[in-house]
Amino acid sequence: MHEVSLARAVVNTVLDALKDRGIKEQRVTSITLRIGDLAQVDLESLEFAFSFATLETELESCMLIFTTKDAVVMCTTCKQQSPYSMEHFYRCELCGGACELVSGKEFDVVSIELESVGVH
């Protein structure tokens, strides 16, 4: 259910970007997304939802390319960075201090690839 909203958000973000940049007569062939480990997105479900969200839009039959990002936490006390783990969560494995997430929640449209249409 969640992925349907997200697929629609991807479509809106890209369509808005095309409009903002005055891009016309070009077909979007692929969209590259950056998705963090903790973004709570199932890539397969997103892909599936995306194929429906793009029906009858300029993005129909456009490809999704995923790049991922590991979840990393940093201790607010000793500044040690470590991979996020379900053993320690947001507690520092060295000093027990509270940790903050440095990366892992990314959910960005990195880039789009365009192909001219109607140019012969």
Interaction partner, residue 78 (other proteins, Zn ion, none; CB < 5-8 Å by kind): Zn ion
Partner whose binding site includes residue 95, from Zn ion, other proteins, none (CB under 5 to 8 Å by kind):
Zn ion
User: Which chain residues interact with other proteins by CB under 8 A?
Assistant: 1-2, 5-6, 9-10, 12-14, 16-17, 21, 23, 26, 29, 33, 38-40, 86, 88-91, 98-99, 101, 107-116, 119
CB of 1 to other proteins, least distance (A): 5
Q: Are 88 and 57 in contact (CB under 8 A)?
A: no
Q: Which is nearer to other proteins, 60 or 96 (CB)?
A: 96
Q: Yes or no: say if 8 and 53 are a contact pair by the CB < 8 Å rule.
A: yes
Question: Does 78 engage in binding with Zn ion (CB under 5 A)?
Answer: yes
Work out how close the CB of 110 gets to other proteins at its nearest, in angstroms, rounded to a whole number. Answer: 6
Pick the closest to residue 110 from 37, 36, 44, 5 (CA basis): 36
- Provide, rounded to whole angstroms, the least separation between the CB of residue 55 and other proteins: 19
Pairing relation of β-strands 63-69 and 26-36?
A: parallel
User: Distance between CA 96 and CA 92 in Å, rounded?
Assistant: 4
Q: What kind and span of H or E run contains 63?
A: strand 63-69
Residue type, 100: E
